[in-house]
A and B are shown apart, each in its own frame.
Chain A
């Protein structure tokens, strides 16, 4: 195992996120079983107070997860000199089977924590906490995921053994290992390009329809998630090629480097935010019939949807500009 400060920090974050979310789900378990808004018992009062703690803990988990997502990619990037054949983060994540699963779990926990906080926000505005069971049910899903993230991440780091000079032979030792896959395979550019812009149209139409008819929530949630998936695929398949101006470099992480003006942050931040907001808006909309939320949900959901559409808009605008600006001719 490698011991670097970044790895120590990442393990610390994973531990504290899993710890806080488990603590929160411990309280949530009791709330799921004993919650009765009409009761004035001491237990009910105590549980109502605990809801504040749980939302604070989840807010912390969301922030920590975002930090950990960024740090994880940066760490993979900086370790690329340690492994033969690894040119950037992709290669390092491919060193063993746990690299990409860790990244995916981090993204999943991030989205679910964002969804939870938005659900919580809506719920707090209804006088009788109508979404308590939905919220804490979701928390029961998030908790095992954070534990899984911690376990997978630990296995990943334990499996990292750098190839350094040994006293018996210098290069023979490391040339025996074949090196790791340094590249992600991309889909063919043309069909992916069509899919990419088709998806933009779908998100826009679904969003506008959803603003008009709130019962289309599931459609918008699905298209937001699909849009996120397609966007990542597109970044790997052709967008990164345009940025690097190199027809073979598919890495979605090198975009975050200074050499490309940190353009990755400008791409990923609106994309992640838009996908999280769109997903949440679509999931929250079906609860609009609950009496105490009738006044709250329509305006809240429309606001979230508008923000999600703006986020996707920013992402698509930047992506298009990057392609137009590029000197690479990919689709001649």
Chain B
């Protein structure tokens, strides 16, 4: 065992020295390799962070949301539904929700408007999200004028800003009172946008949803689990697409690695010839070359991963952000929480180190089995 380890140590020693003797040549490959790992891990780390963020946020969402459908489109739910839903066994609380979108031509963006009864706002008071305040350059005490459904301007006084910790949710959010909301959109007092249900036992949510579709045939219950599943599927899909486009890059890299391993310089050939002439076996050369690949891969992997980590979690993920996040005018500024994920590292190994090894196996073997006299003379 000891002899085996010593042998590997000497091989590594020799390999490192050999790599350093041809610095520029190997540096080029190392740079490309690092870039490849960097790109792949940026995609993975970013979407993993976003997925976790979405899951954390949705943890507090209601178990079931009931919408009304008219001709296949979302419509306002009548207040009479609240009582009927409350009577379904397993439902512990029912709340009619009022929300909507407002297009602001001044910043060319959509705001999300929501009634927040628990905040106790007066009819002309609002609370706005941080990104919105930033873009409109307004603050507490200022007035924000919105154009009501009847064409008249509706001045609303800002009484607070939503803290930026929850910016993913609140970037474009505008909270107001029920009276203000109904005045702005001219919505009659006996309807709601949709209904949020609290189910005492989350495992019963599915049964409750089935009962709702029977009791209210024109309704569309949406479970929290389904929203989560859909988010997951969307992120998976975007991530997968980004990955497939990077596949072309991977192929180019494999060709480069193959070429680099196959096209030995005359000097390198002579070196191998001499090694064999002084008693190295084919197996030793093979092992030396495999160590070379392993050292290169390890360096590139660690460097690429560390760079991507910095880019995604500390530098704002400018790369791939627009692809994976989707697009909007009011971008939330969010700080993703870093986390190490075993699956992510396995995937990275599979798409960077494995292709490198595949591409270099045959050229390495060709080199190792060459005849000493042939290479020294040739």
CA distance A283 to B229 in the complex (A): 48
Known: A169-B220, A171-B209, A171-B221. A6 touches B347 (CB 8 A): yes
B348-364 vs A: 1/0 string, CB under 8 Å? 01110011011001101
B240 contacts A74, C-beta separation under 8 Å: no
B210 contacts A71, C-beta separation under 8 Å: no
B282 contacts A52, C-beta separation under 8 Å: yes
- Is A329 an interface position by the 8 A CB rule? no
A122-149 vs B: 1/0 string, CB under 8 Å? 0010000000000000000000000000
Residues of B within 8 A of A171 (CB): 64, 206, 209-210, 213, 221-223, 226
A52 contacts B220, C-beta separation under 8 Å: no
Residues of B within 8 A of A13 (CB): 350, 354
Which chain A residue shows the least CB distance to B222? A170
A5 contacts B220, C-beta separation under 8 Å: no
Nearest CB of chain A from residue B159's CB, rounded to whole Å: 36
A78 contacts B226, C-beta separation under 8 Å: no
Residues of B within 8 A of A64 (CB): 354
B230-247: which have CB < 8 Å to A?
230, 232-233, 236-237, 239-241, 243-244, 247
Residues of B within 8 A of A5 (CB): 43-44, 239-240, 243, 347, 351
- Is A165 an interface position by the 8 A CB rule? yes
Which chain A residue shows the least CB distance to B74? A167
Residues of A within 8 A of B239 (CB): 4-5
CA distance A162 to B232 in the complex (A): 10
B210 contacts A172, C-beta separation under 8 Å: yes
CB contact between A8 and one of B223, B230, B244 (< 8 Å): that residue:
B244
Known: A5-B347, A82-B233, A171-B206. A52 touches B286 (CB 8 A): yes
CB contact between B226 and one of A16, A77, A165 (< 8 Å): that residue:
A165
Known: A8-B244, A12-B355. A175 touches B209 (CB 8 A): yes
CB contact between B349 and one of A67, A162, A165, A172 (< 8 Å): that residue:
A67
CB contact between A4 and one of B64, B222, B240, B357 (< 8 Å): that residue:
B240
A162 contacts B229, C-beta separation under 8 Å: yes
- Is B195 an interface position by the 8 A CB rule? no
* Total count of chain B residues near the partner, CB < 8 A: 49
Nearest CB of chain A from residue B48's CB, rounded to whole Å: 10
A1-22 vs B: 1/0 string, CB under 8 Å? 0111111111011001001100
CA distance A53 to B367 in the complex (A): 11
Which chain A residue shows the least CB distance to B364? A56
CB contact between B72 and one of A7, A8, A167 (< 8 Å): that residue:
A167
CA distance A124 to B225 in the complex (A): 57
CA distance A66 to B236 in the complex (A): 24
B350 contacts A10, C-beta separation under 8 Å: yes
Which chain B residue shows the least CB distance to A179? B206
Residues of B within 8 A of A10 (CB): 350
Nearest CB of chain A from residue B104's CB, rounded to whole Å: 28
CB contact between B343 and one of A78, A164, A172 (< 8 Å): that residue:
A78
Residues of B within 8 A of A53 (CB): 361-362, 365, 369
B206 contacts A175, C-beta separation under 8 Å: yes
Nearest CB of chain B from residue A120's CB, rounded to whole Å: 11
Residues of B within 8 A of A78 (CB): 343
B236 contacts A4, C-beta separation under 8 Å: yes
B240 contacts A7, C-beta separation under 8 Å: yes
Residues of A within 8 A of B357 (CB): 60
B226 contacts A164, C-beta separation under 8 Å: yes
CB contact between A71 and one of B222, B228, B350 (< 8 Å): that residue:
B350
CB contact between A164 and one of B206, B233, B241, B368 (< 8 Å): that residue:
B233
- Is B263 an interface position by the 8 A CB rule? no
CB contact between B365 and one of A56, A70, A77 (< 8 Å): that residue:
A56
- Is B342 an interface position by the 8 A CB rule? yes
CA distance A13 to B361 in the complex (A): 15
Residues of B within 8 A of A8 (CB): 240, 243-244, 247, 351
Nearest CB of chain A from residue B136's CB, rounded to whole Å: 33
Nearest CB of chain A from residue B340's CB, rounded to whole Å: 10
B220 contacts A16, C-beta separation under 8 Å: no
A1-55: which have CB < 8 Å to B?
2-10, 12-13, 16, 19-20, 49, 52-53
Q: Footprint of A on B, CB under 8 Å? A: 43-44, 64, 72, 206, 209-210, 213, 220-223, 225-230, 232-233, 236-237, 239-241, 243-244, 247, 282-283, 286, 290, 342-343, 346-347, 349-351, 354-355, 357-358, 361-362, 364-365, 368-369
Q: Footprint of B on A, CB under 8 Å? A: 2-10, 12-13, 16, 19-20, 49, 52-53, 56-57, 60, 64, 67-68, 70-71, 74-75, 77-78, 81-82, 84, 124, 162-165, 167-172, 174-175
CB-defined A-B contacts under 8 Å, sample of 17: A2-B240, A3-B240, A3-B244, A8-B243, A9-B346, A12-B351, A12-B355, A49-B282, A56-B286, A56-B365, A71-B346, A162-B232, A164-B229, A170-B222, A171-B221, A172-B210, A175-B210
> Can you add 20 more A-B contacts, CB < 8 Å, to A4-B240, A170-B221?
A6-B347, A9-B347, A16-B354, A16-B358, A53-B362, A67-B346, A74-B343, A74-B346, A75-B343, A78-B343, A81-B232, A162-B229, A165-B226, A165-B227, A170-B220, A170-B222, A170-B226, A171-B210, A171-B221, A171-B223
Closest 10 interchain pairs by CB? A3-B240, A9-B350, A171-B209, A170-B222, A74-B343, A49-B369, A53-B365, A71-B346, A4-B236, A164-B230
